[in-house]
Amino acid sequence: MVAKSITKKANAQELAKIIVPRISTKKTASKASDEPLTVAALERALLVLKAFEDNKLPLSLAQLSSLTGLYKSTILRFLISFEAHGHIRQLDDGKYTLGPAAFRLGIAYQKAFSLEGILLPVLEQLVTDGTESASFHIQVQKRRLCLYRVDSKHPTLDTIKPGDYLPLDRGAAGKILRAFAPERPDSLKAVRDEALAYSDGERDPACAALAAPVFGQQGELIGAISLSGPKERFTKENISRMSRLLKSAARTVSDQAVSVAGNNSQTGRF
């Protein structure tokens, strides 16, 4: 029995030697470091998936290697696993594209985002009222993501679509997301005070935009509704009119978000 116990302990120690080095353990004192504990192999696998998100599909193995900086042999192992679970599929020409599981994840995310049923009618109403194209943006790390978009009825539009990643440091929606972030930069105090942001040619020299914040039950920022289009249509009169419509729409979504969360009180942000 003692021998068996020693053997089990030895096996556990050997297993630990195999598993532990795979996990990044730099700066082990959590209080002394802001870096999250990560699994190196998983980080590399997610890097491969991200290449499919940010680039035109399909992609060859050589392209994936160039985009990620990983060896082809490493990428191939990840692709085999991704393909087995339906996240990636290989085409007849040998290139790779997204599989049906990626679509199912997107649908699951939309279902989890409970504001969809509130947001889309509000965006559609803004466009019906004659505004520029209406979008909803959230912050994802150091970028912003367009989750929803309703094109205006004007013949010329800006080129934003759902799923697009955009700079966080440019554009009206980016200003809103940064203004109400936990850091709350002093340079954006006026945006916070007005609960409204305007940008003129920051992301695209030919476009302008307005944006307003949407808040949740605890007053936390959920995202930003923006109105964007060719800047020649952003006259002083139109900016004033669209600002009123936009702030009213953002308050409507905020109030309904609070209601969805089980609290019918007003946000008091506008």
pLDDT digits (tens, 9 = 90+) for 23-49: 333 344 444 445 556 788 999 999 999
β-pairing, 96-98 vs 197-200, is unpaired
Q: Print burial letters for 77-116: b (CB count within 10 Å at least 16), e (below 16).
A: ebbeebeeeebbbeeeeeebebbeebeeeeeeeeeebebe
Q: What's the average model confidence in pLDDT over 240-254?
A: 96
Q: For residues 14 and 120, what is the distance between their CA atoms, to the nearest angstrom?
A: 55
DSSP line for 195-207: T-EEEESSSSTTE
| Each residue's pLDDT tens digit, 185-232 | 999 999 999 999 999 999 899 999 999 999 987 889 999 999 999 999
Residue bearing the bigger pLDDT, 171 or 30: 171
Average pLDDT of the chain to the nearest whole number: 83
- Residue in this structure with the two tokens 């120690």, named with its chain if needed: 13
pLDDT at res. 33: 45
Query: Hey, is 107 helix, strand or coil?
Result: helix
Q: Does position 2 have pLDDT exceeding 90, yes or no?
A: no
> Would you say the pTM of this structure is higher than 0.75?
no
In order of their start, the domains of the chain are 2-27+34-103 (1.10.10.10), 113-260 (3.30.450.40)
Q: What is the mean pLDDT of residues 146-171?
A: 91
